[in-house]
Structure 1
Amino acid sequence: MTRELHLNAFLMGVGHHEASWRLPESDPYADWDVKHFQELARIAERGKLDSVFFADSPVLNGHPGRRPAGKLEPTVLLTALAVVTERIGLIATASTSYNEPYNLARRFASIDHVSRGRAGWNIVTTAGADAARNFGLDDVPAHRDRYERAAEFVEVATKLWDSWADDAVRADKVAGVHADAGKVRAINHHGRHFRVDGPLNVPRSPQGYPLLVQAGSSEDGREFAARWAEAVFTAQQTLAEGQAFYRDLKRRTAELGRDPDSIKILPGIVPVIGDTPAEAREREAELERLISPEYARRQLAERFGLDEELLRLDEPLPVELLPTEDEIEGAKSRFTLIVDLAKRENLTVRQLIGRLGGGRGHRTFTGTPVQVADAIEEWFDGGAADGFNIMPAVLPSGLIAFVDKVLPILRERGLFRTEYTGATLREHYGLPRPANSWEPASR
C-alpha cells in the first residue's frame, strides 16, 4: 500500500502565535466560545484530517493581563465537538500526575461512546511547580517518578477498559438479561501508586481503548512512548534532528516487541501561509511586531530559572549561565531544543523570542502553499515523520488556508487521502482495535 501522511490539527484559541489574539480578525473571547471550536473542527473534518487535538495543563498558563490565558477543559469540549462532526478524531490531553485512573478511564470511554469511536488521549505527566501547588504539593514530583506513575496509570486504565468483554452486553428482553455478569470482571490492581478494584462502570467502547498519544521527547518520555504510545506529538527544528528522533523511537518500539509501524510520529509545524513568499513574510512580520518583548523575556527567564535581567534582548542567550537538562525536572526535551536553537543560529534573546512566539519551540515555516507542501513532503519522505501536527499561527484563517491551499497539493502528489475510508480514529491512523486482554470468567 502507498504510504500516506497522517495530519492532526492542534487547535489553540485563535492561533499558536502568542500575539494572534491582537490581530483585527481575531475574537479575543474565542477561547471560551464552544461555537468557535466547533467551527474549527468542521473545517478540519472538511479537509479529511485524521484528528483535532487540544493541549491542557491544570494551571493558569501565562499572564492573564497580557494574553488569553484560560481555556475550557478539553475532555468536556470534545463531547461538544462530537455532536457536530461525524468522522474526525478527537484527542485531548489529560495528566497522569493530577488525575486518578478510574475517573479518567471512565471519561475517555464515555467520549469514545459519545463519538462512536473517535476518542484519543494525549498522556502527559505535567511539569511545573505551579501545577503541583494546585494539588497540595510543594513542588513538582521528580521526572522519573512522574513517568513511573504514568506507566502504572496507563496499565490500570487499559485493565479497566478491558474489564467488560466485548460481548458482555446481551440486552435480552425476553430472558431478562441485560449483560452477562460473568463477562464483567474486577481488575483487583494493587500497585505502588494505585489500588483499583474495578470493574469500570462503562462497557467496552467502540475502539476498545482510545488512541494513546504521548508528547515528550526526554529519555523517560521516549521509553514511555515506545511502551504505550500509538501516536507521538514531538518537536524538532531540523530534518537531521527529526530523522534521529524517528529512528530512535522506532528502534525502541521494535526492541519492546511492537511493530514500529504501530507508532506514528507527528512533529509539530507552524505554517504561516501566503500566496506569495513576500505575503507570507509580511504575515509573519505582522505577528512578530505584536509580541510584547518584555513579557516574553520574563516567560523565557522563568523557563530557564534565571533572573530576567540576565537576559538582554539584543545580546545572545547566556548559555553559560543555564542549568543542564539533568538539573531541571520539567519539560526537559523542550528546554534542550530551545537552547540548541539559540546556539545553532546564534540568536539574540529578541530573535529567540520571535522564533518561539509562533510555536514555543515547534518548527515555524513561512511560505507559499507549495513551499509548505514541499517542507512536509521532505520530512515525510526523508524518514523524519509519519505525518504532522499542524499548528496554525492564526485561527481560523490559518487552518482554512492549510485545508484549502496546501491539502490539494498534497493530494495531487498522492500523499494524503481524498476521503475518509474508516469511521474510527484508529482506522484513520491505520491501527487495529486492541484485543481484550481479559478472558471472561465464563469461558
Structure 2
Amino acid sequence: MGASYGRGPLHLAAAVDLPDCPGAEPYVELVRLAERGGLDFVTLDDSFARPGPDALAVLARAAPATRRIGLVPTVTTTHTEPFRVQAAVATLDWISRGRAGWRIDVSAGEDEARLFGRRTAAPVRELWQEADEVAEVAAKLWDSWEDGAEIRDLPTGRFLDRDKLHHVDYTGTAFSVRGPSTVPRPPQGHPVRLVDATERQARTVAARYADVALVRAATPAQATAVRDELRARAAESGRDPDTLRVLVSLLVDLGDGEHAAEPGHGGGGPRATGRGPLYRGGPVDLAELVAGWHADGVTDGFHLVPVEPRRDLERLVNGTVALLQHRGLFRTFYPGSTLREHLRLARPANQYAVTTGNTVTGRNVMTGGTS
C-alpha cells in the first residue's frame, strides 16, 4: 500500500458551498454547524466563471460569528494581483484571530480571461507555475513585517521598528511585486495554504508550499499513491514531509441513509463519478470508512463535500462526527485557537528575522508612516 507513516490525529473538514445563494447568512449558518462538530476547517469555493458572493468576503463575515473553526476560501492566482491577494488573506487571518487559510487555485477558462481582457487563457502548466510564484512571494510579504514591528507608542510618537520591516523586490514570469506588505504579519505567521493536488499540474505547488493537500480518490490505493508522491516531492524541495497534511476529498450524499448501500457505495466505499469520488450511504458507514482509511495510514483525514449542503452537513455533524467522537477517534473540543493548532502545524519562523539566542535583533525606530 506504499510507505507507512506514523498515524497522527484524524483531521476533518467540510465544504460549505451553496449553489445560487447570494447572501452571506446561509453560509454562516453552515460554518457554525461545522464548528459545533469540531471540524478543523471549512472551505468555500470561488471562481470568476460562476455567479455568487466572493468567498473571502463571506468567510470574513463568518469570522466574528464563530470562535474556533478554520476558514479557507478559494482565491485564484490568475487575473489577480499577488500583492492584494496576500494582503486580503492576511486580513482574514487578523479578523479571525488566526483561523484563516487560502485555497490556492488557477483560472484556466477562456470565459474567465475575457472578463479581464488583458490576456488569453494560458496553458494550465503555465498557470500553476504562476501560482507557485504567487505562493512564494506571499510568504515573503507576510514575513516583511516581523512580529513586534508595530510599536504604536503615542506618547513618544514611535510607530514602527524600522529594522523589523523588510523590503521585498520580487520578479516572476508574469508579474513583479515590491513590498513590504500593507498588512502586519498575520497571527499565524503564514495563513494555512491548501491545494487540491488531484491533478498532476498542481502537485509541485502542493509539495513546495501547501500545508494541506486535497486528493480526490475513490480507492485507498489511489490516495496512498498520491500521498506518497507528495511527501517524496516535499522532501526533495527541502521540506519536512510531516509538515504536509494530506486529506482525501469526497462528495457525500447522506440522503437515503444506510439503505443506499449500492455496489460501490455504503460499506463498499466511494464510487468514481464525473464530479469526483462520491460516497452514498449513511452516517454510520461513512464513519467506518473514515476510521478505516485513517487507521490504515491512507490519509491524515477527510475533506467532505455535501451533495445537499444543509441536509448532509447536519447528518455529517450529528451522525458521522458524533460517532467518531464517541469512539474516541475525533476530538470533542478544540485544544487550540488557531487553524495551525488544529492541524498541529508549527507557526513558521520569519525568514527575514535575525535572531541571537532567543532575542530578535533590530532597534532602530520609525515614526509616523511607512514611507
TM-score of Structure 1 vs Structure 2, range by shorter chain: 0.7 to 0.9
- State the SS of the aligned residue for 1:396: helix
How much does 1:184 deviate? Answer: 1.5
The runs of at least 4 aligned residues of structure 1 exceeding 4 Å deviation read none
- For 1:220-235, what aligned pairs fall within 5 Å after superposition? 220-235=201-216
Larger RCO, structure (CA 8 Å, separation 6 or more)? 1
Name the stretch that deviates more: 83-92 or 217-226: 217-226
How much does 1:2 deviate? Answer: 7.0
Matched positions, count: 345
How much does 1:135 deviate? Answer: 2.2
Q: Which amino acid aligns with 2:321?
A: L
Q: In the TM superposition, what whole-angstrom CA distance separates every residue of 1:141-179 from its partner, at most 9, and x where no partner exists?
A: 122211221111111111111111101011223322122
Is 1:442 the equivalent of 2:362?
yes
Q: In the TM superposition, what whole-angstrom CA distance separates every residue of 1:199-257 from its partner, at most 9, and x where no partner exists?
A: 11111110111101111333331122111111012211122111111111112112222
Name the stretch that deviates more: 186-195 or 70-79: 186-195
How much does 1:276 deviate? Answer: 4.8
- For 1:282-431, what aligned pairs fall within 5 Å after superposition? 341=272, 355-356=273-274, 360-361=275-276, 363-431=277-345
- State the SS of the aligned residue for 1:135: coil
User: Counterpart in 1 of 2:76?
Assistant: 95
Preserved CA contact (<8 Å) 2:12 2:40: yes
Preserved CA contact (<8 Å) 1:277 1:368: yes
1:180 pairs with one of 157, 161, 174: 161
Preserved CA contact (<8 Å) 1:8 1:49: yes
Distance 1:372 1:423 in 2: 28
Preserved CA contact (<8 Å) 1:91 1:122: yes
Preserved CA contact (<8 Å) 2:7 2:295: no
Q: Which amino acid aligns with 1:268?
A: S
Is 1:236 the equivalent of 2:236?
no
Q: Which amino acid aligns with 2:171?
A: H
Name the stretch that deviates more: 239-248 or 116-125: 239-248
Preserved CA contact (<8 Å) 1:168 1:179: yes
Call closer, same or farther: CA 1:413–1:254 in 2, change over 3 Å.
farther
Preserved CA contact (<8 Å) 2:108 2:127: no
Which of structures 1 and 2 has the bigger CA Rg? 1
Distance 2:257 2:48 in 1: 41
Distance 1:413 1:76 in 2: 37
User: Counterpart in 1 of 2:357?
Assistant: none
Which one has the bigger helix percentage?
1
Q: In the TM superposition, what whole-angstrom CA distance separates every residue of 1:256-275 from its partner, at most 9, and x where no partner exists?
A: 22222211111212222268
User: Counterpart in 2 of 1:169?
Assistant: 150
Q: Which amino acid aligns with 1:11?
A: V
How much does 1:189 deviate? Answer: 1.8
User: Counterpart in 2 of 1:107?
Assistant: 88
Provide the TM-score with structure 1 as the length reference. 0.74
How much does 1:279 deviate? Answer: 6.1
Distance 1:219 1:367 in 2: 30
Is 1:44 the equivalent of 2:49?
no
User: Counterpart in 1 of 2:369?
Assistant: none
How much does 1:75 deviate? Answer: 0.8
User: Counterpart in 2 of 1:217?
Assistant: 198
Q: In the TM superposition, what whole-angstrom CA distance separates every residue of 1:315-343 from its partner, at most 9, and x where no partner exists?
A: xxxxxxxxxxxxxxxxxxxxxxxxx95xx
- For 1:61-210, what aligned pairs fall within 5 Å after superposition? 70-136=51-117, 139-210=120-191
Unaligned runs of 5+ residues in structure 2 are: 1-5, 266-270, 355-360, 364-371
Distance 1:382 1:280 in 2: 22
How much does 1:186 deviate? Answer: 1.6
1:53 pairs with one of 30, 39, 43: 43
Computed over aligned residues only, the root mean square deviation of the Cα atoms, in angstroms, reads 2.2
Distance 2:318 2:11 in 1: 17
Q: In the TM superposition, what whole-angstrom CA distance separates every residue of 1:262-295 from its partner, at most 9, and x where no partner exists?
A: 11111212222268532677xx9xxxxxxxxxxx
Which one has the bigger strand percentage?
2
Preserved CA contact (<8 Å) 2:255 2:312: no
